[in-house]
Amino acid sequence: MAPSLLFEAVLAQPGQGVGRACALLCALGAEVLLPGAVSISLRCSKALADRLGPDRLIQADAVVRKRYDLAQDQPWLCSDGPDPTLMRVALPALAEGVSGFVRIPPCAAQPPLPGRPIHAPRPPLSPLPPDVPYFHLQAPEDLSALLGARDLHQRGETGRGVRVAVVDSGFYAHPWFGSRDLGVRVLLAPGARAPACDEIGHGTMVCAALLSLAPGAQVTLVKQNGDDEVFVAFKLALSLSPDIVQNTWGYSLAEGRLGAAEDLIAATLEDAIARGILVVFAGGNGGLLYPSQRPEVLAIGGVFQGEDGARQAASYASGYLSKLFPGRRLPDFCALVGMAPMGVYLAMPTQPGGQIDRAFAQQPYPEGDDTPPTDGWVVISGTSAASAQVSGLLALLRARAPGLSQERARALLAKTARAVHHGASAQGNPAGPGQPNVATGYGLVDAQAAFEALPSVIDTIPP
- pLDDT tens string 189-247: 999 999 999 999 999 999 999 999 999 999 999 999 988 899 999 999 999 999 999 99
pLDDT digits (tens, 9 = 90+) for 129-176: 999 999 999 999 999 999 999 999 999 999 999 999 999 999 999 999
DSSP strand pairing (5-11 vs 98-102): antiparallel
DSSP per-residue letters across 100-129: EEEPPPPPPPPSP--SSPP-S--PPPPSSP
**Catalytic site positions:** 168, 202, 384
Q: How far apart are CA 157 and CA 399, in angstroms?
A: 8
Question: In 269-404, at which residue ranges do the beta strands (DSSP E only) sit?
Answer: 278-282, 289-290, 298-305, 311-313, 320-321, 329-330, 333-336, 346-349, 377-380
* Contact in structure between 227 and 366 (CB atoms under 8 Å): no
Task: Report pLDDT for 15.
Answer: 86
Q: What is residue 110's predicted lDDT score, i.e. its pLDDT?
A: 52
pLDDT of residue 115: 46
137-460 carries CATH number 3.20.20.60 = no
Gap between the Cα atoms of 353 and 330, Å rounded: 34
Res 116 pLDDT > 80: no
Buried b (16+ CB within 10 A) or exposed e, 272-286: bbeebbbbbbbbbbb
* Neighbouring C-beta atoms of residue 13, cutoff 10 Å: 10
Average pLDDT over residues 21-25: 94
| Percent of the chain clearing pLDDT 70 (strictly above) | 96
**Domain boundaries along the sequence of the chain:** 5-102, 137-460
Q: Apex CA 383: angle with CA 408 and CA 427, to 5°?
A: 105
Q: What does pLDDT average to over the chain?
A: 94
Query: Which pLDDT does position 35 carry in this prediction?
Result: 95
Model pTM?
A: 0.96
Question: Where is average pLDDT lowest: 103-112, 153-162, 344-353, 358-367?
Answer: 103-112
- Residue 375, CA distances (Å) to 139, 349, 400 in order: 16, 9, 38
DSSP letter (8 states) at residue 258:
-
CA distances from 332 to 30, 296, 386 (A): 40, 10, 12
Looking at the predicted structure, is the pLDDT value of residue 456 above 90? yes
What average pLDDT does this structure show over 12-16? Answer: 90
